[in-house]
Amino acid sequence: MTSIHDNDNPRSTRPADARLAGIRRGRGLPGRWRAVGMTLVEMLVAISVLAVMILAVSSILVQTQRFISAAQENRRSHAMAFTIARIIRRDLRRVSKDGFLCISSDNKLVFSTAGPVAGISELTRGDGSIICYGQQSCKNSADPSKTLTYLWRPEYICNCTTGTPSPTISGERINVNFSTLRQCAASSGDANSPFTLQALANQVALTTPGNNMALPPTTASDLKNLWQVLVTNIDDFKVSWTDGTKGTDGNLKWQISPMLWSHKNQTDWTLQNTTGWPRAIRITFAITDPSMPKEMQGAGHPYEVICIVGA
């Protein structure tokens, strides 16, 4: 019987017919003659493993994106709240007990400040101002089906341009000098009182743009009223006060009852009762970010600002 030798195994003495038969059956030279493949089951398993890996990576990317978005929202809200707190503290440090301070039943804070002050345009100047804080709503020009809330903060310059002072508001000017407030009674007039401080506070608190303004501004009228807007997308704005009294738990007792609107000539925060003024004012509010997905907006970020009055 004839024997042949191959280069891979020179010492092989298998019969040639057997070796050729092995080559025909696919058991010949490794890597050169054998056909390698995957079965259907192996392919399905590989695809399943790949799909699981893709889903896992996608889930990680989504969670990372949400974390980044939440961090950006927190950063924007904290920066906005810091700005609001700085303005509120600056305003309440300027409060003068020669004027008045009051809280309305609908959580509006109205008070007077003393000292030279100029308006936004620098054309209106006076010897004091009347400032109001409160939450208001207006038209949403970006989505007419919804309303937009904002923190309302007008500052009316005390500047009497007529011979008779009155609580008349024209633009950013109120027709009264700060020195006139010393002549005003708290909530009941007398012969020497041109008007009552109660009437003045009511006039300021009720002079709101209302639905006459839309945000973001789209008309010249909206731009004209924009000076009264401190920040948009604010909610749960509340004002409380304390006289320094502590509760049984050792914490300050914060009260929310209005003063000048309901307590006539009793504990009004006016010149007539300088000892009854609050020691501090607390303002709480929440800021929402409409750019975030609805499932991440929630009730907004709550903030608290506590300020010593007149300090």
* Residue pair 172/157 in contact by the 8 Å Cβ criterion: yes
Paired tokens of 84: 């609001």
Q: Is residue 274 part of a domain?
A: yes
Residues 118, 204: one domain? Answer: yes
Collapsed DSSP state (helix, strand, coil) of residue 210: helix
| Tens digit of pLDDT at every position of the chain (311 positions) | 444 455 555 555 555 555 545 544 445 445 555 556 778 888 888 899 999 999 999 989 988 888 887 777 778 888 889 999 999 999 999 998 888 888 887 889 999 999 899 888 767 899 999 999 999 999 888 888 888 899 999 999 999 887 788 888 988 999 999 988 877 866 665 656 778 888 888 889 888 887 778 898 888 888 888 899 999 989 999 999 998 889 889 899 998 765 444 444 333 588 777 777 889 999 999 988 776 555 555 567 889 999 998 76
Residues 106, 24: one domain? Answer: no
Q: Give the total number of structural domains in the chain.
A: 2
C-alpha of 63 from chain center: 24
How much is the pLDDT for 122?
66
Q: Is residue 5 part of a domain?
A: yes
Distance CA 214, CA 139 (A): 4
Residues 74, 9: one domain? Answer: no
Residues 26, 106: one domain? Answer: no
Strands, sheet with 301-308, edge to edge from the N-terminal-most edge strand? 234-242, 280-287, 301-308
Q: Is residue 50 part of a domain?
A: no
Burial class (CB in 10 A: 0-12, 13-18, 19+), 14: middle
Paired tokens of 142: 């970006």
How much is the pLDDT for 225?
86
Q: Which residues contact 124 (CB under 8 A, 6 or more apart)?
A: 118, 157, 159, 171, 172, 173
Residues 22, 67: one domain? Answer: no
Distance CA 124, CA 137 (A): 27
Residues 291, 146: one domain? Answer: yes
* Residue pair 126/143 in contact by the 8 Å Cβ criterion: no
* Phi and psi at residue 222, to the nearest 5°: -65, -40
**What is the residue whose two structure tokens read 């054309």?**
123
Q: Compute the 3-state secondary structure of the chain and give helix, strand, coil in percent, each to the nearest 5.
A: 30, 25, 40
Q: Is residue 81 part of a domain?
A: yes
Residues 179, 241: one domain? Answer: yes
Q: Is residue 72 part of a domain?
A: yes
Domain that holds residue 3: 1-35
pLDDT in tens, 130-149: 999 999 999 888 888 888 89
Residues 67, 18: one domain? Answer: no
Residues 207, 141: one domain? Answer: yes
Going by C-alpha positions, the residue among 169, 160, 78, 157 that lies closest to residue 117 is 157
- Total-model pTM: 0.75
How much is the pLDDT for 30?
53
Q: Is residue 57 part of a domain?
A: no
* Residue pair 234/150 in contact by the 8 Å Cβ criterion: yes
Collapsed DSSP state (helix, strand, coil) of residue 15: strand
Residues 29, 121: one domain? Answer: no
Residues 176, 71: one domain? Answer: yes
Residues 105, 213: one domain? Answer: yes
Q: Is residue 272 part of a domain?
A: yes
Distance CA 45, CA 82 (A): 56
In DSSP terms, 158 is beta-bridged to 174
Residues, the chain, total? 311
Distance CA 280, CA 307 (A): 5
**What is the residue whose two structure tokens read 């696919």?**
26
pLDDT in tens, 52-61: 999 999 989 9
Per DSSP, the residues of 223-292 read: HHTGGGEEEESEEEEEEEEE-S-B-TTSSBPPB---STTT-TTSS-SBGGGGGGS-SEEEEEEEE--TTS
Q: Is residue 3 part of a domain?
A: yes
